[in-house]
């Protein structure tokens, strides 16, 4: 059975690990938000391009596809971190 001091150390360590993961999630969400704004701007640019579809338009389509893949990968990473947070169990306090 763990002593109270051991429990406090375990709790501090646990909380620091959870806080670090939450910070990663917050940073990732902020990054994804900016990525989505950029993606929407590129889509709007493509939609508002007058005239025939040309090589520059194709390059923009390729960028859009790459951006969507990158955003999807980031979302998968967020899901992984969320699963890790769900699985993270707090230390069990000692029973007096």
Helix, strand, coil percentages (3-state) for the chain, rounded to 5, are 80, 0, 20
Query: Do the domain assignments include residue 27?
Result: yes
| Structure confidence at residue 43 (pLDDT) | 96
Mean of the pLDDT values across residues 39-51?
Answer: 93
Query: Do the domain assignments include residue 63?
Result: yes
Residue 69 belongs to what domain range? 4-87
pLDDT tens-digit map of 7-26? 889 889 989 988 988 888 88
Mean of the pLDDT values across residues 56-65?
Answer: 96
Query: Do the domain assignments include residue 83?
Result: yes
Token pair in block for residue 2? 């763990």
| Structure confidence at residue 67 (pLDDT) | 96
Classify residue 6 by its DSSP letter: H
Res 5 pLDDT > 60 = yes
Mean of the pLDDT values across residues 74-80?
Answer: 86
| Structure confidence at residue 68 (pLDDT) | 96
Nearest Cα residue to 72 out of 27, 36, 25, 24: 36
**This prediction's pTM:** 0.67
Query: Do the domain assignments include residue 77?
Result: yes
Q: How far is CA 3 from CA 85, 90, 96, in A?
A: 25, 16, 9
68 within 8 A of 39, measured Cβ to Cβ: yes
Query: Do the domain assignments include residue 96?
Result: no
Query: Do the domain assignments include residue 59?
Result: yes
In total, how many domains does the chain have? 1
Query: Do the domain assignments include residue 64?
Result: yes
């Amino acid at each position: 059975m763990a002593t109270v001091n051991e429990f406090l150390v375990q709790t501090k360590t646990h909380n620091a690990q959870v806080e670090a993961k939450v910070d990663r999630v917050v940073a990732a969400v902020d990054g994804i938000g900016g990525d989505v704004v950029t993606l929407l701007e590129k889509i709007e640019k493509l939609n508002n391009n007058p005239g025939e579809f040309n090589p520059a338009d194709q390059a923009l389509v390729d960028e859009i596809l790459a951006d969507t893949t990158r955003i999807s990968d980031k979302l998968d990473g967020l899901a992984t971190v969320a699963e890790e947070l769900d699985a993270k169990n707090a230390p069990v306090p000692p029973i007096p």
